[in-house]
Amino acid sequence: MVRDVMSSPVRTVGADDSAREAAARMRGSHILHLVVLDDGGHVVGVISDRDLRAAQPSTLLVKDPTMREKALSLMKVRDVMSPHPHTVDATAPATDALRVMRRERIGCVPVVDRHGSVVGVVTGGDVVNLALELLSA
């Protein structure tokens, strides 16, 4: 089941937080994705390290990393996130999450409970861990 392969607790960020704050949370937690929640705690998006890199000025144009980081402080998470993410239920078969990730070519899928509250996330790292577990058995 999805709950058996997901990462939890899930790291989140608010849609109105700065993109710089999202980048700092990812770096501090050594992760590549954050689930974006609205004020009511509902999943409204996902932001990845790739989204943040794409939002920054090119290193060819702006060499100073401090200036590139400052650009992120001017943007909100909602401006750079992927909105309306696919989600999976925690009680669904794990293959459902993997199929969504493959079909949509995405690196993570937020996991929700029957009330729609986020309870975890399935990432590419979780898939690798699952494969290693199965291959080692």
Helix (H, G, I), strand (E, B) or coil at 37: strand
Using alpha carbons, list the distances in angstroms from residue 14 to 32, 34, 58, 59, 93: 16, 10, 26, 27, 29
Locus of tokens 């699952």:
130
The tens digit of pLDDT for each residue in 115-130 reads 888 999 999 999 998 8
Give 101's contacts (C-beta < 8 A, 6+ positions apart). Answer: 107, 108, 109, 122, 124, 127
Q: Say yes or no to pLDDT of 25 above 80.
A: yes
Strand locations in the chain, DSSP E?
A: 12-14, 33-37, 43-48, 82-83, 88-89, 108-112, 118-123
In the prediction, which pLDDT does 108 show?
94
Which sequence spans correspond to the domains of the chain?
2-136
**Residue 5 structure tokens:** 């392969």
User: Looking at residues 33-51, what average pLDDT do you find?
Assistant: 94
**pLDDT band (50, 70, 90) for residue 62:** confident
> Which class would CATH give 2-136?
alpha beta
The tens digit of pLDDT for each residue in 67-91 reads 777 888 889 999 999 999 999 999 9
In the prediction, which pLDDT does 56 show?
80
Locus of tokens 């992120």:
72
**pLDDT band (50, 70, 90) for residue 5:** very high
End-to-end Cα distance, the chain = 18
